[in-house]
Chains A and B, each alone.
Chain A
Amino acid sequence: MALEFSAESEKRINEALDEYYNTQAALIPVLYIAQDEFGPVTPEVMDLVAKRLELPRMFVEAVASFYTMYLKKPFGRHHIQVCRTLSCHMAGAQNIVAHIKKKLELEAGGVTPDGKFSLEEVECLAMCGSAPAMIINKTNYENLTIEKVDEILDNLD
């Protein structure tokens, strides 16, 4: 069955189209709207976005593939992104990652079998002054310790 945007997504798409200079300029936000609704940006999602914005399918794919925040593979309900870059590394990011891997029995790039968590190591998140830092979905967490990570993860449903 072909995908369709929900009424809520349609509303957000129309808002984006009002804000930007032309239809093509709305592509970056619309790909996020699609990801929020459907999960990974798969070929079917790209078909839908291309149709909705009346842009060439190849163009949509070229853009979606360029940016790392459009996830092409399945990800968990809680997508954990831990910064690996220098300041976070010096503050112990490697221990945080190792702990999450062990606790959730998860590898970087993987998803837990229940689909609850996925883990990714990412580059500098502009929180270096409060390292180590991570983002889960759209929420920032700073000054991480093992205890703090346990508390955060244990409180997610």
Chain B
Amino acid sequence: MSELVLSKRFNTPDSHLLSTYEADGGYQAARKALDMTPEEVVEEVKKANLRGRGGAGFPAGIKWSFMPKDDGKPHFLCVNADEGEPGTFKDRSLMRFDPHQLLEGIIIGCHAIRAEYSYIYVRGEMWDEKEILWNAIRELRAKNYLGKGIFGTKNNLHIAVCTGAGAYVCGEETAMINSIEGKRGEPRLKPPFPAQVGAFGMPTTVNNVETISNIPHILKNGGEWFASLGVEKDGGTRMYGVSGPVKNPGLFERPQGYNLKKLIFEDAGGMLDGRELKAVIPGGSSCPVLKADEIDIPHNYDSLRDAGSMAGSAGVIVLPEDACAVKAMANLAQFYAHESCGQCTPCREGTHWLNLLIQRIEAGQGKMEDIDQLLQTCKNMMGSTICPLSDAAAMPMEAFVRKFRDEFEEHVRLGRCPRDGRL
């Protein structure tokens, strides 16, 4: 089996405690980083080829280098723990089983971007995880690892847990910033980008929980080591989540670029109850679906882009042959219609129209023109809105219609769902 980095301590008893973490060498990387200049830390992270694990895959070191220097303003590191993309369940475990790994990453990241404040924005429903993080923060405050002059340096650092309150769109970074400020979680127009005008009007970096959890390992073992774990331009491992009717669903930490077919058929044990594989959504619900014969590929950003999809959050959703493709997409269309914040007309109207049309087709009341209406609506929703939620709703729909058009047409022809809405 390959090397475990992020989930190494998941099965250690009391893995959430500071004493456990320090006994395993915890906070040594932070001490090392605080002795380095911020620029040196950023360079190490650049060498690691660490790409953001929140979905877009932006190189973390480059993002950090956008933060201004000597501007005299307070800086913020906001950690995205909103985890709401259907199919994604990795950040929950990273916070639950190794909160100190994340907190050490924050301490290092804040040094690199010269931030004195960090907020971890945890989705509202994760009550246990919020409490675990608060407890871990209290442990650090008691040892002066947080507060004024941390680890005997001149750095000050305040970390607090912020809570979401039930809005998927708050995972989008500028919506999250609004929510952290106590406002409605509506995305902001960019530019200005958060590195210029972010939380409370100050320079801000937003990173995902998994991205930041990797940082202590990069500082400890070096950027080159981290880069060598993955594939070209994509360093490290990934917390792959597999859900759907497989024998052994769950989280698997594997190297970046791990074969998607192998992940499903070996690591996740293959299909349950002798069912056949129909399709795979490779990185959370917003990623275009792949058919069963398209999954013998490495799972990483560039390879999935070449396959016409995205690596996204690495939440792999497996669909069985006997499930109705229209019903599956209709389930997700309802999600997006519910979650659009409504600021942009193409998204507000588009998500509702897509949902209405596809529910109608699934119910056997659709017309052939409705299928092309779906595609036309998708086109109108893409590339013209404040945030990418609109695209995130349109892309999977477009792919489902294109790849399973025969099933859509069959619904219209028969006037019912040929699989009785089975999923």
Contact = CB atoms under 8 A, between A and B. Distances in A.
13 contacts: A21-B200, A25-B162, A27-B182, A70-B166, A81-B125, A89-B423, A90-B320, A126-B123, A126-B126, A127-B92, A128-B249, A131-B249, A138-B128
Interface in B72-119: 83-89, 91-92, 117
A25 B181 contact: yes
Given A90-B423, A126-B92, A128-B315, 9 more contacts: A19-B160, A63-B182, A85-B285, A85-B332, A87-B87, A90-B244, A126-B126, A128-B241, A130-B250
B168 A86 contact: no
B185 A66 contact: yes
B182 A135 contact: no
Contacts of A66: 167, 184-186
Nearest to B84: A124
Given A20-B160, A68-B166, A86-B86, A123 B335 contact: yes
5 tightest A-B CB contacts, nearest first: A67-B165, A69-B166, A68-B166, A128-B243, A27-B182
A140 interface: yes
Interface in A47-92: 62-63, 66-70, 81, 84-87, 89-91
Given A89-B423, A128-B243, A28 B165 contact: yes
B243 A32 contact: no
Interface size on A, as a range, is 35 or more
A86 B317 contact: yes
B392 interface: no
Contacts of A28: 162-165, 179, 182
Contacts of A90: 244-245, 319-320, 323, 423
Nearest to A125: B125
B286 to A, nearest CB: 12
A87 B317 contact: yes
Bin the interface of chain B by size: 35 or more
Nearest to A81: B125
B296 to A, nearest CB: 23
Residue among A27, A86, A124 with max Cβ neighbours from chain B (10 Å):
A86
B28 interface: no
A145 B91 CA distance: 25
Contact of A25 (B88, B182, B285, B339): B182
A87 B167 contact: no
B160 A24 contact: no
B183 A129 contact: no
Contacts of B162: 20, 25, 28-29
A131 B241 CA distance: 12
Contacts of A84: 331, 334
B147 to A, nearest CB: 13
- Which of A67, A122, A130 is packed against the most chain B CB atoms within 10 Å? A67
Interface string B402-423: 0000000000000000000001
Given A125-B125, A140-B128, A86 B87 contact: yes
